[in-house]
Structure 1
Amino acid sequence: MTGSALLVDAFGRIHETVVDTVGGLSAEELAFRVDDSANSIAWLIWHLTRIQDDHIADAAGLDQAWDGQGWAKRFALPLPVSDTGYGHTSAEVATVVASAELLAGYHSAVHEQTLAYVSDLDGDAFARVVDTSWNPPVTLAVRLISVIGDALQHVGQAAFVRGVLSRR
């Protein structure tokens, strides 16, 4: 199996779990927070998708789906268009309210763009430096694994919150 095939599989698993986690929930259920400082399912899915969108688009030299495909306007969040959720306060987390269809739709758009990019990568591409603001500089391989790790953590958290919600 090639590196690009492994990436397609990993991003596919994330996408499946995102769709399963939000499926059938109302906007109110998606906004549920275990306590006042916790993240909601909506925020977790939006944030992991924003990070994937931001990081993959940057590495690929593409426009983000968020603003390039009009998802920012559809969500109409009271946040800057460039916001990815990193460092959000509890009050900012509470502003991320969306339907399951909107969350799954945005993630699907980002997933399609991600697969189109990673499907064609070869071994030499993974060594390319994509971020020089870190020491050592970040290669494409490290950036992709970082995105996958972050997304898996957040979708797991969202699935956990869904489990808590179903037991209330």
Structure 2
Amino acid sequence: MTTSTDLLVDAFGRIREVVEEVVTGLGPEELAARPDDSANSIGWLVWHLTRVQDDHVADAAGTEQVWTADDWYGRFALPFAAEDTGYGHSRMNVAKVRGLTAELLTGYHQAVHDSTVRYVAGIPDKEFTRVVDRSWSPPVTLGVRLISVIADGLQHAGQAAYVRGLSAALG
């Protein structure tokens, strides 16, 4: 029998697989490359989707983000505040996400994925209706928040895969 948590773990695993596939074999310049000045880079997209997952899941779980708990913030050394997830970044901010390696991106994503799976795997079904964000109308429940994180993660991972394919085609 497949449970709600089994489906969520599978969905987060799909994001993980795309992230790994997209960044593997790319160097810092390729990760920072942008199709044009208004586009996002692969590095920014993967960093952002991982930051959002880390931020939102940690908030729902009531835990510290992996970003700060395991000093990924220091390892990335980006010119942003520790709480920055990339949400609302301008094209100038996107351009500042440079010097990243595939190993750094996949390491952080794997750590966030592991933390997410540990949390999600233990959620009882009745918990999915708990309100986690009252700043929206209607208020956001845990179930809706997790689906939103998955949708955002898959969308950005797909965008990163597109940028990689476009870069290879224009080579």
TM-score range, shorter chain: over 0.9
Aligned partner of 1:146 among 119, 142, 148: 148
Distance 2:166 2:102 in 1: 18
Distance 1:9 1:158 in 2: 20
**Superposed CA offset, 1:23-65 (max 9, x none):** 0000100011000010000000000000000000000001001
How far 1:121 moved relative to its partner? 1.0
**Superposed CA offset, 1:133-152 (max 9, x none):** 11111000000000000000
1:3 aligns to 2:9 (yes or no): no
1:86 aligns to 2:84 (yes or no): no
Q: Unaligned stretches of 5+ in structure 2? A: none
RMSD: 0.5
How many residue pairs end up in the alignment? 168
The runs of 4+ residues in structure 1 deviating greater than 2 Å are none
How far 1:156 moved relative to its partner? 0.1
SS at match of 2:12: helix
How far 1:10 moved relative to its partner? 0.2
TM-score with structure 2 setting the length: 0.97
Q: Unaligned stretches of 5+ in structure 1? A: none
Aligned partner of 2:162 among 132, 143, 160: 160
Within-5 A mapping of 1:22-101: 22-97=23-98, 98-101=100-103
The one-letter code sitting in structure 2 at the alignment partner of 1:93 is: V
Distance 1:137 1:87 in 2: 21
**Superposed CA offset, 1:119-141 (max 9, x none):** 01121010011011111110000
